[in-house]
Protein backbone atom coordinates (compact mmCIF):
# COMPACT_ATOMS: atom_id res chain seq x y z
CA UNK A 1 0.00 0.00 0.00
CA UNK A 2 1.40 3.38 -0.94
CA UNK A 3 1.88 5.92 1.88
CA UNK A 4 -0.91 8.45 2.35
CA UNK A 5 -0.33 11.92 0.93
CA UNK A 6 0.15 14.80 3.35
CA UNK A 7 -2.45 17.56 3.15
CA UNK A 8 -1.00 21.03 2.53
CA UNK A 9 -1.62 23.63 5.22
CA UNK A 10 -2.52 27.29 4.70
CA UNK A 11 0.95 28.24 5.97
CA UNK A 12 2.63 25.99 3.39
CA UNK A 13 0.55 27.38 0.53
CA UNK A 14 1.30 30.94 1.68
CA UNK A 15 5.03 30.24 1.90
CA UNK A 16 5.07 28.91 -1.67
CA UNK A 17 3.06 31.88 -2.96
CA UNK A 18 5.50 34.29 -1.35
CA UNK A 19 8.48 32.41 -2.80
CA UNK A 20 6.90 32.66 -6.25
CA UNK A 21 6.32 36.41 -5.76
CA UNK A 22 9.96 36.87 -4.78
CA UNK A 23 11.17 34.91 -7.82
CA UNK A 24 8.94 37.00 -10.10
CA UNK A 25 10.26 40.24 -8.61
CA UNK A 26 13.83 39.02 -9.16
CA UNK A 27 13.13 38.19 -12.82
CA UNK A 28 13.45 34.42 -12.40
CA UNK A 29 9.84 33.86 -13.48
CA UNK A 30 8.03 35.62 -16.30
CA UNK A 31 4.39 36.73 -16.11
CA UNK A 32 2.99 33.49 -17.46
CA UNK A 33 5.11 31.23 -15.24
CA UNK A 34 4.26 33.29 -12.16
CA UNK A 35 0.52 33.18 -12.85
CA UNK A 36 0.57 29.47 -13.72
CA UNK A 37 2.44 28.47 -10.57
CA UNK A 38 0.41 30.85 -8.41
CA UNK A 39 -2.81 29.32 -9.69
CA UNK A 40 -1.54 25.81 -8.96
CA UNK A 41 -0.34 26.74 -5.46
CA UNK A 42 -3.63 28.41 -4.58
CA UNK A 43 -5.65 25.26 -5.29
CA UNK A 44 -3.03 22.71 -4.10
CA UNK A 45 -4.43 20.13 -1.66
CA UNK A 46 -1.27 18.14 -0.96
CA UNK A 47 2.32 18.97 -0.05
CA UNK A 48 3.68 17.07 -3.03
CA UNK A 49 1.61 19.36 -5.28
CA UNK A 50 3.55 22.33 -3.89
CA UNK A 51 7.12 21.00 -4.01
CA UNK A 52 7.57 21.12 -7.84
CA UNK A 53 6.50 24.77 -7.92
CA UNK A 54 9.64 25.90 -6.08
CA UNK A 55 12.07 23.07 -6.81
CA UNK A 56 13.98 25.07 -9.44
CA UNK A 57 13.85 28.36 -7.55
CA UNK A 58 15.23 27.77 -4.08
CA UNK A 59 17.56 24.80 -4.35
CA UNK A 60 15.47 23.07 -1.71
CA UNK A 61 12.08 23.43 -0.10
CA UNK A 62 12.70 22.45 3.52
CA UNK A 63 12.78 26.10 4.62
CA UNK A 64 9.23 26.46 3.28
CA UNK A 65 7.95 23.68 5.51
CA UNK A 66 7.58 21.21 2.64
CA UNK A 67 10.38 18.80 3.51
CA UNK A 68 10.03 15.26 4.77
CA UNK A 69 8.78 15.08 8.32
CA UNK A 70 7.34 18.58 8.20
CA UNK A 71 3.79 17.86 7.19
CA UNK A 72 2.10 20.79 8.89
CA UNK A 73 3.59 24.19 9.53
CA UNK A 74 0.46 25.90 10.87
CA UNK A 75 1.94 26.30 14.34
CA UNK A 76 4.44 28.84 13.02
CA UNK A 77 1.63 30.90 11.56
CA UNK A 78 -0.48 30.96 14.71
CA UNK A 79 2.05 31.09 17.54
CA UNK A 80 4.67 33.19 15.80
CA UNK A 81 8.24 32.43 14.76
CA UNK A 82 11.36 34.49 13.90
CA UNK A 83 9.95 34.83 10.37
CA UNK A 84 6.19 34.85 10.81
CA UNK A 85 3.70 36.66 13.02
CA UNK A 86 0.04 37.67 13.10
CA UNK A 87 -1.15 40.98 14.46
CA UNK A 88 -4.58 42.45 15.10
CA UNK A 89 -3.58 45.93 13.94
CA UNK A 90 -5.63 48.14 11.63
CA UNK A 91 -3.76 50.39 9.20
CA UNK A 92 -4.58 54.11 9.37
CA UNK A 93 -5.77 54.84 5.82
CA UNK A 94 -6.17 58.58 6.26
CA UNK A 95 -2.60 59.01 7.53
CA UNK A 96 -1.13 56.92 4.73
CA UNK A 97 -3.08 58.77 2.05
CA UNK A 98 -1.99 62.12 3.45
CA UNK A 99 1.66 61.12 3.32
CA UNK A 100 1.41 59.71 -0.20
CA UNK A 101 -0.52 62.72 -1.51
CA UNK A 102 2.80 64.54 -1.87
CA UNK A 103 3.53 62.32 -4.87
CA UNK A 104 0.07 62.56 -6.44
CA UNK A 105 0.73 65.53 -8.73
CA UNK A 106 3.00 63.61 -11.07
CA UNK A 107 1.13 60.31 -11.12
CA UNK A 108 -1.31 60.92 -13.98
CA UNK A 109 1.43 61.85 -16.44
CA UNK A 110 3.65 59.01 -15.28
CA UNK A 111 0.96 56.36 -15.74
CA UNK A 112 -0.03 57.67 -19.16
CA UNK A 113 3.49 58.07 -20.46
CA UNK A 114 4.72 54.62 -19.46
CA UNK A 115 7.05 53.18 -16.82
CA UNK A 116 8.54 55.54 -14.29
CA UNK A 117 11.87 55.10 -12.58
CA UNK A 118 12.44 54.10 -8.98
CA UNK A 119 13.22 56.72 -6.33
CA UNK A 120 16.44 58.56 -6.97
CA UNK A 121 18.54 57.10 -4.18
CA UNK A 122 21.82 55.51 -5.24
CA UNK A 123 20.74 52.26 -3.63
CA UNK A 124 17.73 51.87 -5.93
CA UNK A 125 18.89 53.59 -9.12
CA UNK A 126 22.12 51.62 -9.40
CA UNK A 127 20.41 48.51 -10.77
CA UNK A 128 18.94 48.90 -14.24
CA UNK A 129 15.55 47.32 -14.70
CA UNK A 130 14.96 46.60 -11.02
CA UNK A 131 11.26 46.23 -10.28
CA UNK A 132 10.58 48.85 -7.66
CA UNK A 133 8.23 51.53 -6.41
CA UNK A 134 6.52 53.76 -8.91
CA UNK A 135 3.25 55.52 -9.81
CA UNK A 136 0.98 52.50 -9.41
CA UNK A 137 1.93 52.35 -5.73
CA UNK A 138 0.39 55.77 -5.10
CA UNK A 139 -3.28 56.46 -4.45
CA UNK A 140 -3.89 58.28 -7.74
CA UNK A 141 -1.96 55.77 -9.83
CA UNK A 142 -3.65 52.76 -8.28
CA UNK A 143 -7.07 54.37 -8.55
CA UNK A 144 -6.52 55.02 -12.28
CA UNK A 145 -5.25 51.49 -12.88
CA UNK A 146 -8.24 49.91 -11.09
CA UNK A 147 -10.67 52.23 -12.88
CA UNK A 148 -9.17 51.15 -16.21
CA UNK A 149 -9.53 47.51 -15.14
CA UNK A 150 -13.19 48.03 -14.18
CA UNK A 151 -13.83 49.65 -17.56
CA UNK A 152 -12.01 46.86 -19.42
CA UNK A 153 -13.24 43.80 -17.54
CA UNK A 154 -16.54 44.96 -16.01
CA UNK A 155 -17.83 42.62 -13.32
CA UNK A 156 -15.71 39.63 -14.31
CA UNK A 157 -14.14 37.55 -11.56
CA UNK A 158 -10.37 37.89 -11.16
CA UNK A 159 -7.96 35.07 -10.33
CA UNK A 160 -4.91 37.11 -9.31
CA UNK A 161 -3.63 40.68 -9.64
CA UNK A 162 -0.04 41.88 -9.34
CA UNK A 163 0.67 45.59 -8.84
CA UNK A 164 4.23 46.68 -9.59
CA UNK A 165 5.45 50.24 -9.55
CA UNK A 166 5.32 50.73 -13.31
CA UNK A 167 2.90 48.00 -14.42
CA UNK A 168 0.20 45.61 -13.28
CA UNK A 169 -0.91 42.19 -14.46
CA UNK A 170 -3.97 40.05 -13.87
CA UNK A 171 -5.50 36.72 -14.80
CA UNK A 172 -9.19 36.01 -15.42
CA UNK A 173 -11.45 33.59 -17.26
CA UNK A 174 -12.12 34.16 -20.94
CA UNK A 175 -15.85 35.11 -21.04
CA UNK A 176 -16.18 33.57 -24.50
CA UNK A 177 -14.47 30.26 -23.63
CA UNK A 178 -15.12 28.97 -20.09
CA UNK A 179 -12.10 27.29 -18.53
CA UNK A 180 -9.59 29.34 -20.51
CA UNK A 181 -7.67 31.87 -18.43
CA UNK A 182 -6.44 35.13 -19.98
CA UNK A 183 -3.48 37.19 -18.79
CA UNK A 184 -3.45 40.97 -19.23
CA UNK A 185 -0.69 43.50 -18.52
CA UNK A 186 -1.24 47.18 -17.72
CA UNK A 187 1.15 49.92 -18.83
CA UNK A 188 -1.14 52.91 -19.20
CA UNK A 189 -3.79 50.59 -20.66
CA UNK A 190 -4.69 46.91 -20.37
CA UNK A 191 -3.43 44.62 -23.12
CA UNK A 192 -3.70 40.86 -23.47
CA UNK A 193 -0.37 39.15 -22.86
CA UNK A 194 -0.94 35.40 -22.73
CA UNK A 195 -3.36 32.71 -21.61
CA UNK A 196 -3.57 29.64 -19.41
CA UNK A 197 -6.03 26.88 -20.24
CA UNK A 198 -6.48 25.62 -16.68
CA UNK A 199 -9.36 26.64 -14.38
CA UNK A 200 -8.79 28.68 -11.23
CA UNK A 201 -9.80 27.72 -7.70
CA UNK A 202 -11.09 30.94 -6.14
CA UNK A 203 -11.68 34.41 -7.55
CA UNK A 204 -12.42 37.94 -6.32
CA UNK A 205 -14.07 41.09 -7.71
CA UNK A 206 -12.18 44.25 -8.65
CA UNK A 207 -14.99 46.29 -7.15
CA UNK A 208 -14.05 44.89 -3.72
CA UNK A 209 -10.59 46.49 -3.87
CA UNK A 210 -10.35 49.81 -2.04
CA UNK A 211 -7.18 51.53 -3.35
CA UNK A 212 -6.97 53.48 -0.10
CA UNK A 213 -6.61 50.23 1.85
CA UNK A 214 -3.88 48.97 -0.48
CA UNK A 215 -1.92 52.23 -0.41
CA UNK A 216 -2.25 52.41 3.36
CA UNK A 217 -0.85 48.87 3.56
CA UNK A 218 2.06 49.87 1.33
CA UNK A 219 2.79 52.88 3.50
CA UNK A 220 2.62 50.95 6.77
CA UNK A 221 4.45 47.77 5.69
CA UNK A 222 8.07 48.90 6.33
CA UNK A 223 7.26 49.86 9.91
CA UNK A 224 5.30 46.64 10.46
CA UNK A 225 8.38 44.71 9.32
CA UNK A 226 10.82 46.87 11.29
CA UNK A 227 12.71 47.79 8.12
CA UNK A 228 14.88 50.86 7.71
CA UNK A 229 13.95 54.12 5.96
CA UNK A 230 15.34 52.89 2.63
CA UNK A 231 12.82 50.05 2.40
CA UNK A 232 10.65 50.22 -0.72
CA UNK A 233 7.68 48.32 -2.09
CA UNK A 234 8.62 45.75 -4.73
CA UNK A 235 5.07 44.70 -5.62
CA UNK A 236 1.64 43.92 -4.21
CA UNK A 237 0.04 40.55 -4.96
CA UNK A 238 -3.74 40.30 -4.70
CA UNK A 239 -5.28 36.86 -4.15
CA UNK A 240 -8.76 35.69 -3.17
CA UNK A 241 -9.14 34.66 0.45
CA UNK A 242 -11.36 31.84 1.66
CA UNK A 243 -14.43 34.08 1.42
CA UNK A 244 -13.70 35.21 -2.13
CA UNK A 245 -12.56 38.67 -1.08
CA UNK A 246 -9.26 40.21 -2.17
CA UNK A 247 -6.29 39.78 0.16
CA UNK A 248 -3.23 41.99 -0.35
CA UNK A 249 0.36 40.79 0.10
CA UNK A 250 2.74 43.77 0.19
CA UNK A 251 6.32 42.78 -0.68
CA UNK A 252 9.03 45.07 0.74
CA UNK A 253 12.81 45.13 0.23
CA UNK A 254 15.56 47.26 1.74
CA UNK A 255 17.47 47.32 -1.54
CA UNK A 256 17.72 45.73 -5.00
CA UNK A 257 18.44 42.03 -4.64
CA UNK A 258 17.77 42.03 -0.88
CA UNK A 259 15.30 39.51 0.59
CA UNK A 260 11.63 40.45 0.56
CA UNK A 261 9.53 40.93 3.66
CA UNK A 262 5.77 40.52 3.36
CA UNK A 263 2.72 41.98 5.08
CA UNK A 264 -0.66 40.42 4.30
CA UNK A 265 -3.71 42.66 4.73
CA UNK A 266 -7.40 41.87 4.39
CA UNK A 267 -10.00 43.83 2.48
CA UNK A 268 -10.88 45.67 5.71
CA UNK A 269 -7.32 46.92 6.25
CA UNK A 270 -6.63 44.39 9.01
CA UNK A 271 -3.11 42.97 9.13
CA UNK A 272 -3.42 39.19 8.85
CA UNK A 273 0.18 38.02 8.65
CA UNK A 274 3.71 39.36 8.77
CA UNK A 275 6.71 37.53 7.32
CA UNK A 276 10.12 39.04 7.89
CA UNK A 277 12.77 38.89 5.12
CA UNK A 278 14.18 35.39 4.68
| Eight-state DSSP code of residue 207 | G
Dist CA 100 CA 106 (whole Å):
12
> What pTM did the predictor assign?
0.64
What digits encode the pLDDT tens for the residues 68-110?
Answer: 444 443 433 333 333 444 444 444 433 343 333 333 333 333 3
Q: Where are the domains of the chain?
A: 10-84, 93-275
Q: How many other C-beta atoms are found inside a 10 Å radius of the C-beta of residue 40?
A: 18
What share of the chain has pLDDT > 90, as a percent? Answer: 28
The mean per-residue pLDDT over the stretch 202-210 comes to 93
Report the alpha-carbon distance of residue 11 to residue 245 in Å, rounded. 18
Pairing of strands 204-205, 232-240: unpaired
pLDDT digit string (tens) for 210-264?
999 999 999 999 999 998 877 888 889 998 988 999 999 998 888 776 778 889 9
Amino acid sequence: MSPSRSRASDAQRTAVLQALDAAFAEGRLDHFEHFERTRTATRAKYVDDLRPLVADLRGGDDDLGLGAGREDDDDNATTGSPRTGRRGARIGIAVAVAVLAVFGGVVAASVSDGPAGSPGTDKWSAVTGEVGPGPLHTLDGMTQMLAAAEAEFGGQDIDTLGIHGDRASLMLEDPTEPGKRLIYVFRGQWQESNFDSHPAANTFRLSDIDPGVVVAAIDAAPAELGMDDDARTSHVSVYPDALGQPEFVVNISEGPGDPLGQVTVGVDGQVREIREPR
